[in-house]
Amino acid sequence: MTTPRLTALVDTLPSTVPFVGPETQERARGKPFRARIGANENVFGPSPAAIEAMGEAAAGVWKYCDPENFDLKQALARHHGVAPENVAVGEGIDGLLGYTVRLVTEPGVAIVTSKGAYPTFNFHVAGFGGRLATVPYRDDREDPDALADLARREEARLLYFANPDNPMGTWWPRETVSDLIDAVPDGTLLCLDEAYCEFAPDGALAPIDVDNPKVLRFRTFSKAYGMAGARIGYAIGEASVVANFDKIRNHFGVNRIAQAGALAALADRGWLAHVIAEVAAARRRIAAIAEANGLDALPSAANFVAIDCGRDGDFARRVLAELVARDIFVRMPGVAPLDRCIRISAGTPADLDLLEETLPAALAAASG
């Protein structure tokens, strides 16, 4: 019996996922985590209106979704002051990044990103045969000048840049982001990942310009809107660029329950303000816990805080392992020197009580 004839590219790729989920770890451990504060999920949940809308939509789940995402695109266009033709809806930012990579990537072409930035983007680039070219972070932030220079030298098809950043939570002001947009060379498309934009301080987000075909901005309902499990996000860009998604996307990829929830969540600005306030309070608490243990918390514009463990990556990995052993799920950056940090998602007061209780023992065990 013969095996399937895979492409030469796929045959060389590992069978893996960019992140090991907490569920996988719980199965391996044989018990659940007491605090799930590692995946940058919004533990404060979606709008009650969104929950109600999704419940109502569930009764009609026998129907296919609207493949044009018409109502949601209309609402997003009004929300951002653009035309519906400037909006593409997809299965979270991860799905949309995959489509974007597919649109422009061929084997061997250069794709530029930061060393240690969002690994799912890299996963998609590898899957379509792109050649990753990277620059290091500078002072725990992505380096926009170096990224633009490398994109120019490599004649890159894509340039990935996140503001606010994941995994560090750092950010650049809008002027710097606008300068990067201006510096994007001809023939390069900037993937501007703004997954955490609702948590960003005033002055961090560059104005949306849908006349510029060099930029696609990616946003999501996974973070501030609390719908990570629904897998729904969107891209904003120049209309002729956005239209290309219809050539390759899964037209039934966003289910009707997610569509209904996103519509209701977008309309509930009061709940969004509530979540943003809860996240800000949690960030302050995480920073205080870090300081009480002699650690430094990096300033964050996201729904997590990167905590500098004060040594190298090996020590930070031991701290993480000791927290996991005490039933606290956290994650950390994977590339030096960022890996001197662990990353704590904004949790409930009960979650952070457990962190406060267990972190001293985890640090002591990691040191011992």
Of 267, 295, 323, the residue at which a domain comes to its end is 267
Give the pLDDT band (50/70/90) at residue 19.
confident
The percent of residues above 70 in pLDDT, for the chain, comes to: 100
Domain range enclosing 262: 48-267
Instruction: Report yes or no on 7 lying in a domain.
Output: no
254 and 311 assigned to the same domain: no
Instruction: Report yes or no on 247 lying in a domain.
Output: yes
What the block records as the tokens of 250 is 């899964």
70 and 217 assigned to the same domain: yes
Asked whether residue 360 carries a pLDDT value surpassing 90, the answer given is yes
Strand pairing report for 233-237 and 215-220: antiparallel
Give the pLDDT band (50/70/90) at residue 164.
very high
User: For residue 205, what is the domain's CATH number?
Assistant: 3.40.640.10
Instruction: Report yes or no on 224 lying in a domain.
Output: yes
210 and 96 assigned to the same domain: yes
| Tens digit of each residue's pLDDT (9 = 90 or more) over 171-187 | 999 999 999 999 999 99
Give the pLDDT band (50/70/90) at residue 100.
very high
**Helices 256-267 and 48-58: angle between axes, nearest 10 degrees:** 150
What the block records as the tokens of 212 is 């510029």
What global pTM score does this model have? 0.96
247 and 281 assigned to the same domain: no
37 and 63 assigned to the same domain: no
Mean pLDDT of 268-287: 98
User: For residue 293, what is the domain's CATH number?
Assistant: 3.90.1150.10
55 and 191 assigned to the same domain: yes
38 and 64 assigned to the same domain: no
Of 214, 245, 267, the residue at which a domain comes to its end is 267
| Tens digit of each residue's pLDDT (9 = 90 or more) over 278-337 | 999 999 999 999 999 999 999 999 999 999 999 999 999 999 999 999 999 999 999 999
Instruction: Report yes or no on 228 lying in a domain.
Output: yes
User: How many distinct structural domains can be found in the chain?
Assistant: 2
90 and 218 assigned to the same domain: yes
CB-based contact 134:122 (threshold 8 Å) = no
Instruction: Report yes or no on 122 lying in a domain.
Output: yes
Tell me the C-alpha to C-alpha distance, in Å, between residue 261 and each of 5, 10, 67. 41, 36, 16
Instruction: Report yes or no on 62 lying in a domain.
Output: yes
Amino acid type, 133:
A
Of 246, 267, 288, the residue at which a domain comes to its end is 267
| Tens digit of each residue's pLDDT (9 = 90 or more) over 288-298 | 999 999 999 99
195 and 229 assigned to the same domain: yes
Scanning the structure block, which residue is given the tokens 């039933």? 327
Nearest C-alpha neighbor of 128 from the set 103, 160, 152, 93: 103
| Tens digit of each residue's pLDDT (9 = 90 or more) over 40-92 | 999 999 999 999 999 999 999 999 999 999 999 999 999 999 999 999 999 99
225 and 345 assigned to the same domain: no
What's the pLDDT score for residue 2? Answer: 80
What the block records as the tokens of 272 is 């969004």
Would you give the distance in Å from CA 355 to the centre of its chain?
23
| Tens digit of each residue's pLDDT (9 = 90 or more) over 231-246 | 999 999 999 999 999 9
What's the pLDDT score for residue 191? Answer: 98
196 and 280 assigned to the same domain: no
321 and 210 assigned to the same domain: no
Which contacts (CB < 8 Å, 24+ apart) does range 229-232 have?
Answer: 230/54, 230/255, 230/257, 230/258, 230/261, 230/262, 231/91, 231/92, 231/94, 231/95, 231/258, 232/89, 232/90, 232/91, 232/92, 232/258, 232/259, 232/261, 232/262
Phi-psi region of 357 (alpha: psi -120 to 50; beta: other; left: phi over 0): alpha
What's the pLDDT score for residue 342? Answer: 98
Instruction: Report yes or no on 5 lying in a domain.
Output: no
Instruction: Report yes or no on 316 lying in a domain.
Output: yes
| Tens digit of each residue's pLDDT (9 = 90 or more) over 109-156 | 999 999 999 999 999 999 999 999 999 999 999 999 999 999 999 999
Asked whether residue 17 carries a pLDDT value surpassing 90, the answer given is no
3-state helix vs strand vs coil in the chain, percent to 5:
45, 15, 40
